[in-house]
Chains A and B, each alone.
Chain A
Amino acid sequence: MSVLNSKVPEGPIKDKWTNHKNKINLVNPANKRLIDVIVVGTGLAGGAAAASLAEMGYKVKAFCFQDSPRRAHSIAAQGGINAAKNYQNDGDSVYRLFYDTVKGGDYRGREANVYRLAEVSANIIDQCVAQGVPFAREYGGLLDNRSFGGVLVSRTFYAKGQTGQQLLLGAYSAMNRQIGKGKIEMFNRHEMLDLVVVDGKARGIIVRNHVNGEISRHSAHAVVLATGGYGNVFFLSTNAMGSNVTAAWKAHKKGAFFANPCYTQIHPTCIPRSGDYQSKLTLMSESLRNDGRIWVPKNIEDVEAIRSGKKKPTELSEDERDYYLERRYPAFGNLVPRDVASRAAKERCDAGYGVNQTGEAVYLDFSSAIQRYGKEAATVKGEKNATKERITELGEEVVRTKYGNLFQMYEKIVDDNPYKTPMMIYPAVHYTMGGLWVDYNLMTTIPGCYAAGEANFSDHGANRLGASALMQGLADGYFVLPYTIGDYLADEIRTGPISTDTPEFEAAEKAVRGQLETLMNIQGTKSVDHFHKRLGKVMWDKVGMSRNAQGLTEAIAEIRQIREEFWKDVKIPGGLNEFNPELAKATKVADFLELGELFAVDALSRNESCGGHFREESVELDGEQKGEAKRDDVNFKYVAAWEWNEDPGAANLHKEELEFKDIELKQRSYK
């Protein structure tokens, strides 16, 4: 028997959550005041959790490394949030959202968790509207929806291209209400550097104040980690510069199992790289695939003409273009899931059809949509004889209202007008489905330590569908954790205040100080970024969109080598007890250098292709699916949960076998 107990409740899937909630232990309101909860992270998951827990009466301390909780990386989410509201009357339902998510995740998620997510999704929209989140509306005053990849219904709610911003401001406003009442004590510009475990239970954290370098201890009856994803292990990703794995990794080293570290989402539509100086990659929301058509030239001569500037993409006629997603996947076309779209772009570019100087770009073209919308608008306005120019003008106006800020962002970065020439895009690291292993209650393998949002190994299996991360973050924070944490805290009412004056806190603080001093004392010759960039290159080249045993084995050795050099040769100017951004970067990169290795180890041990994890050794060799990724349910239908064992590469593997009782296991087909 596995040591992992997912604690999935008994009973039919549609009753599990309700029954569980009915049976869960409750904490009496008077006792809640005696219980402290630490929430690390103030994105959608942490912000929602902190606000909800404080409302319920717990004493909450919340932490973030930015200068305000409202700046958590959730703010950057663009396209939208899913919910099974069926407002469009297109046949959506809780079951369909559940089904799409399990299938989209390539059958590597836990059914019961996914069902719960779909079940609470509708409430999220109600909640957000009540908080004043200004979602997009139709002229009739009702909420509007759009479609996202991998599904055949329109269930995505949005606020132009700034959905994450609006949702986070909602959670932040709920936090503000509690901060104002003194129920949440907020620590900005503070970074968690270790988890404190006492008698096997999570009892607090050690943090560093970025402003003055001060190290402090904080105790609580439970610790919630909502610290986001670790895509920055690749150096270049669409994540914010500060996004990191430190909190989750420190918990891992204290006993929390790390699940499926290799499941990474490489998002198909990002602005291609342009130079070595580049610090991050910019996403162009998936919502653009609703209206944009993806193509490369059919003929290699045209590719060369375009690259050398002799031809413009707009000069190519329809039959000189290869709309390869529409060609390969007629049923879903441009709206196939992300992993499929990314691999297809890589396939074309590897074959030599990439349309920019680096050969790593494909077109995302809005001209058809502009014409279509323009004609519609002209008809509505009664302009029967509208000229082509007029139709284009009207169509561009429609596209501007839908995606204006994204088009502006593109133009500012690339210096090219996407209304007139197609956008150039290429896949980039975007999201990590892996994370801390949690049970049905969102508790990690350390009692009292919870993980929510992108930081947990999540409901998305091996591939996340668009607009589902925001849904999961808010579901975890508003509706799941506030219930499930009570089950644990009910036993804590007699514990009383937890002292930070104990050997465990002492030891944890000492270890943190020791690590910081060691880093400062190396005084080597190379900057932190130097090592981070090298790590990123190994990850992208050998642990990226396409992986094989040889590359992964090499990657493991190379990462170990970089890590060794880092600890000998990194150079950090400035001092310990002051604002020191280089030092803050160094602690993050130190953890990425360990996680990177486990990541590669996990990818090596999973000798199948599933979702975003593509092993070159595992593809369909013939039949209709020839060339597509090949899953291996006989050998790999499990969650890989790794237990720390002194060295990142020596982690012990535990398997949580996945059961599919409500959805039949099938080869995923979007053809």
Chain B
Amino acid sequence: MSEKGMNLTLKIWRQKDSKSKGKMETYPVTNISEHMSFLEMLDVLNEQLVEEGKEPVAFDHDCREGICGMCSLHINGEAHGPDRRVTTCQLHMRMFNDGDTIHIEPWRAKAFPVIKDLIVDRSAFDRIQHAGGFISVNTSGNTIDANAIPIEKEDADEAFNAATCIGCGACVASCKNASAMLFVGAKISQFSLLPQGQVEAKNRALNMVKQMDLEGFGNCTNTGACEVQCPKGISLDNIARMNRDFLSASVKK
């Protein structure tokens, strides 16, 4: 364990607000411990900037443990950086070497406009879910007993796997078409794999896909980049499942 910190050069996208033009700026940081998380490294930079009376770099984050989906960042050309199956907040500086130059940019997609610096507007994801991301049941509590309908463990596990999507948007950011198919596929599968969600499965798929198109996400050309970059390992199978639900719904119409 070397205790001597790393010296790094950061090239970071700075943009005042959605209307302004942005550009890359260069910042050196010194004595970065390999045990720091990537965001803690940015905290160090920001602390430094504040002391110099400069504006700190704005980035989204909250839980800092890979679950809220708030953090983003395109790091050296990869969504959530060079490590696999982690979000930016879980990325550790031990993945980098002394003397490295690191490029940090926001998610790039028409449907995710930049709000400031590294922060983008992902509300399109919410709107897709308003269109059908639910099971139509009231919260009265007067439902049937939770064990009344046994669900095969495998189906429950698959639904769970789909539902672990954190809505971060890395799939969109890493797709050359800025397609949201992996995200929407996961959201649709999460429900349609369960008997409770089957009832509305077709309409759900139709409505969510329609909203997805309205939001300006691109088409899927099966590059599979999304699956590689997804921090939660959401599988491409979800896209296939969505296509099935969607097709059978379209045929019925």
Query: A573 contacts which of B50, B143, B150 (Cβ < 8 Å)?
Result: B50
Contacts of B147 in A (CB 8 A): 87, 142-143
Contacts of B39 in A (CB 8 A): 279
Query: A409 contacts which of B90, B140, B143, B146 (Cβ < 8 Å)?
Result: B90
Residue B86 interfacial (CB < 8 Å): yes
Within 8 A of A (CB), among B14-62: 16-17, 33, 35-37, 39-40, 43-44, 47, 49-51, 53-56, 58, 60-62
Tell me the minimal C-beta distance from A365 to chain B in angstroms.
23
Tell me the minimal C-beta distance from A235 to chain B in angstroms.
12
Contact B92 A174 (CB under 8 A): no
Closest residue on chain A to residue B50 by CB atoms: A527
Chain A residues bordering chain B, tally (CB within 8 A): 83
Contact B56 A415 (CB under 8 A): no
Closest residue on chain B to residue A71 by CB atoms: B68
Contact B56 A166 (CB under 8 A): no
Contact B58 A579 (CB under 8 A): yes
State A589–B39 Cα separation when bound (angstroms): 20
Residue B137 interfacial (CB < 8 Å): yes
State A478–B138 Cα separation when bound (angstroms): 10
Tell me the minimal C-beta distance from A249 to chain B in angstroms.
20
Closest residue on chain B to residue A177 by CB atoms: B134
Query: A581 contacts which of B58, B86, B152 (Cβ < 8 Å)?
Result: B58
State A138–B150 Cα separation when bound (angstroms): 10
Contact A174 B134 (CB under 8 A): yes
Contact A188 B123 (CB under 8 A): yes
Contact B139 A48 (CB under 8 A): yes
Contacts of A165 in B (CB 8 A): 67, 163-164, 166
Residue A123 interfacial (CB < 8 Å): yes
Contact B160 A581 (CB under 8 A): no
Query: A242 contacts which of B40, B55, B62, B67 (Cβ < 8 Å)?
Result: B62
Contacts of A275 in B (CB 8 A): 33, 35-36
Residue B247 interfacial (CB < 8 Å): no
Residue A497 interfacial (CB < 8 Å): no
Residue B63 interfacial (CB < 8 Å): yes
Closest residue on chain B to residue A188 by CB atoms: B123
Residue A137 interfacial (CB < 8 Å): yes
Given A275-B36, A412-B92, A141:B151 Cβ within 8 A: yes
State A431–B56 Cα separation when bound (angstroms): 30
State A282–B89 Cα separation when bound (angstroms): 12
Within 8 A of B (CB), among A141-166: 141-143, 159-160, 162, 164-166
Contact B146 A180 (CB under 8 A): no
Closest residue on chain A to residue B193 by CB atoms: A134
Contacts of A277 in B (CB 8 A): 33, 36, 40, 43-44
Within 8 A of B (CB), among A378-413: 408-409, 412-413
Contacts of B131 in A (CB 8 A): 180
Contact A131 B196 (CB under 8 A): yes
Contacts of A338 in B (CB 8 A): none
Contacts of B63 in A (CB 8 A): 71, 73, 75-76, 240-241
State A280–B143 Cα separation when bound (angstroms): 40
Residue B191 interfacial (CB < 8 Å): yes
Residue A136 interfacial (CB < 8 Å): yes
Contacts of B213 in A (CB 8 A): none
Query: A279 contacts which of B43, B138, B139, B141 (Cβ < 8 Å)?
Result: B43
State A265–B58 Cα separation when bound (angstroms): 32
Contact B129 A176 (CB under 8 A): yes
Within 8 A of B (CB), among A51-91: 51-52, 55, 66-71, 73, 75-76, 85, 87
Contacts of A582 in B (CB 8 A): 50, 56
Contacts of A573 in B (CB 8 A): 49-50, 53-56
Q: Which of B99-107, B114-122, B172-180 contacts A (4 or more CB under 8 A)?
A: B114-122
Residue B65 interfacial (CB < 8 Å): yes
Residue A211 interfacial (CB < 8 Å): yes
State A573–B65 Cα separation when bound (angstroms): 28
State A371–B126 Cα separation when bound (angstroms): 45
Contact A408 B115 (CB under 8 A): no
Residue A529 interfacial (CB < 8 Å): yes
Query: A135 contacts which of B49, B152, B156 (Cβ < 8 Å)?
Result: B156
Tell me the minimal C-beta distance from A626 to chain B in angstroms.
39
State A390–B17 Cα separation when bound (angstroms): 58
Residue B153 interfacial (CB < 8 Å): yes
Tell me the minimal C-beta distance from A213 to chain B in angstroms.
10
Query: A66 contacts which of B64, B68, B146 (Cβ < 8 Å)?
Result: B68
Query: B92 contacts which of A66, A173, A408, A415 (Cβ < 8 Å)?
Result: A415
Residue B109 interfacial (CB < 8 Å): no
Residue A350 interfacial (CB < 8 Å): no
Closest residue on chain B to residue A166 by CB atoms: B163
Given A130-B143, A413-B92, A71:B156 Cβ within 8 A: no
The 10 closest A-B pairs by CB, nearest first: A141-B150, A173-B134, A123-B141, A130-B143, A180-B130, A134-B160, A129-B146, A134-B159, A579-B116, A177-B134
Residues of chain A having any CB pair with chain B under 8 Å: 48, 51-52, 55, 66-71, 73, 75-76, 85, 87, 120, 123-132, 134-143, 159-160, 162, 164-166, 169, 172-174, 176-177, 179-180, 186, 188, 211-212, 240-242, 274-275, 277-280, 282-283, 408-409, 412-413, 415, 478-479, 482, 525, 527, 529, 571, 573-574, 578-579, 581-582
Residues of chain B having any CB pair with chain A under 8 Å: 16-17, 33, 35-37, 39-40, 43-44, 47, 49-51, 53-56, 58, 60-70, 83, 85-86, 90, 92, 94, 115-116, 119, 121-123, 125-126, 129-141, 143-147, 150-153, 156-157, 159-160, 163-164, 166-167, 190-191, 194, 196-197
Q: List 24 A-B contacts (CB under 8 A).
A: A52-B139, A66-B70, A67-B70, A67-B122, A127-B141, A134-B159, A136-B156, A136-B160, A137-B152, A137-B153, A142-B150, A159-B160, A174-B134, A176-B133, A180-B132, A188-B126, A241-B64, A279-B37, A279-B64, A280-B64, A280-B65, A409-B90, A413-B92, A573-B49
